[in-house]
Amino acid sequence: MPTTLEKNLSRIAELGIEHTFAQLQRGIEKESLRVATTGKMAQTPHPAALGSALTHGSITTDYSEALLEFVTPIHTSIDTLLKELTDVHHFTYQHIGDEKLWVNSMPCVVESEELIPIARYGSSNVAKMKEAYRRGLGHRYGRLMQTIAGIHFNFSMGDEFWQIYLNTDNAEAYRNLRSEAYFGLTRNFLRHSWLACYLFGASPAVCKTFLQGRKHSLADYDPSSFYAPDATSLRLSDLGYSNNAQAGIEVCYDSLEAYVNGLKKAIQTPHPEYQKIQALIDGKYQQLNANLLQIENEFYGVIRPKQVAKSGESPSRALEDRGVEYVEVRSLDLNPFDPVGINEDCIRFFDTLLVYGLLSDSPELSVKEYKEAAENRQRAVMTGRKPGLTLLLNEKEQPLEQAGIDLLTKLEPVAALLDQAHGSKGYAASLEKQRTKLQDPARTPSARVLAAMDKDEISFYHFAMVQASKHADYFKGLKMDKGTLARYQAEATESLIAQQRLEDSDTLTFEAFLSDYFARQNA
């Protein structure tokens, strides 16, 4: 009996749309902390030469003024995607003086939470809302947690694929069928996310300053570093993006309606602990509201179904009105051995895994299976390289190595399809490289980090500074063509003008602006 994947691959061949798999659409959002020459978080403001963090399309900030975020446009070519990411790093290095970009997901030396500057965006109502949201995050989870950096991988199929594959002229049916397919992909990624954590996790150690005053189970590596000997991604562990209140949020991935309803419930449900947070200090809002989630973006998931939101539109409203347009994978650590934090083999693997999730059977995710997937992810991030480690798959313990090899075998037909579309052997080669990591954990990025620390007898801090210096030299040694340089300079100037326009055009008080925003969101 053919599997769902086999049936879909046959249908793709019958329709003659193999070529559409060369049109996969990808974008990257990559975070990096600016650090001083001492390795401490930069206290300087966002460089004006980089433009406005509020309105610039590709250079912004996340939680902190020091936490840069680079956002690429959508690309169908891996080479041009990585070149775009390289160019934006190169341009940034021309305007941050002696500062460097921290290369690890876990943060640099942090002396105190008070020395983590919240991002500033100007005096407009939109800017005030972004800042109030960040103050809320600081109160709810601590500022330290917000200094963790990662890579978000945005993925979608091209329009030509969907138009032929879905075969409908009805706009509503098209939207619903595409959304249903992306939710199937999302459920399958949740089932298999443990493998991505094992293969690409690169944060097995952390500066002791990150855990000052917090309970944890990590071991001493040296006087300034903690580590977990077999960990792959402390960023994705309970030490990273976690929160007891969020553990109680019930988000269902079985349909768009169920997913949106779960988020809406969370952004409309008051939380007793958050109600204790003082509303205003020195005239500044300390959070947007006292609900479980201030806004949808506060929900920490390893993958999100997304739709591009219009100005002033909430993510859930965008999803309701226009369905799912792409998925955002949020489980990628920065790879400290790659100057831009990610490489082509990683991208090819995620292409393969996501297309597999799209074309394979994806039944509804029961509560038991969802918890099983979360348990496997935690085992992979905390003890992924432990010899003999098992995962809980279909309520049975199975060795991680064998489970990973079995899954890679299932991915092979999809890699073959992608190689056919691209006229290459890169996708098959990428799977083979991942197989060697399962057979030899020493090849994983997390093991390589610890091996480098052991070899040179250095701390996590010193390892990161060595890598940051290498990457800084690499980018400073590049030559940017005049056209690309002019484009970035123009974007920086235009973004500052756009910010000024926003500030000049505000007519509402901030209180009225917030009230209007949430009235539309909750309608």
Q: Is 102 left (phi over 0), alpha (psi -120 to 50) or beta?
A: beta
Q: What percent of the chain has pLDDT over 90?
A: 90
Q: pLDDT tens digit string along 140-161?
A: 999 998 999 999 999 999 999 9
Band of pLDDT at residue 42, cut at 50, 70 and 90: very high
Mean pLDDT value of segment 334-346: 98
Name which of 267, 233, 263 is nearest 251 in CA terms: 263
Contact assessment for residue 421 and residue 20, using Cβ atoms and an 8 Å cutoff: yes
Least confident piece of the model among 49-53, 213-217, 231-235, 461-465: 213-217
Mean pLDDT value of segment 33-45: 95
Band of pLDDT at residue 418, cut at 50, 70 and 90: very high
Contact assessment for residue 200 and residue 335, using Cβ atoms and an 8 Å cutoff: yes
Ordered structural domains, the chain, with CATH = 4-521 (3.30.590.20)
Q: Is the pTM of this model over 0.75?
A: yes
Whether the per-residue pLDDT at 263 is higher than 70: the answer is yes
User: What single-letter DSSP state applies at residue 241?
Assistant: S
Mean pLDDT value of segment 322-326: 97
The H or E element that residue 152 is part of is strand 151-156
Q: What is the pLDDT of residue 112?
A: 86
Whether the per-residue pLDDT at 6 is higher than 60: the answer is yes
Whether the per-residue pLDDT at 41 is higher than 60: the answer is yes
Q: pLDDT tens digit string along 500-513?
A: 999 999 999 999 99
Band of pLDDT at residue 125, cut at 50, 70 and 90: very high
Band of pLDDT at residue 62, cut at 50, 70 and 90: very high
- Neighbour-count burial for 176-214, b at 16+ CB within 10 Å, e otherwise: bbbbbbbbbbbbbbbbbbbbbbbbbbbbbbbbbbbeeee
Mean pLDDT value of segment 425-439: 98
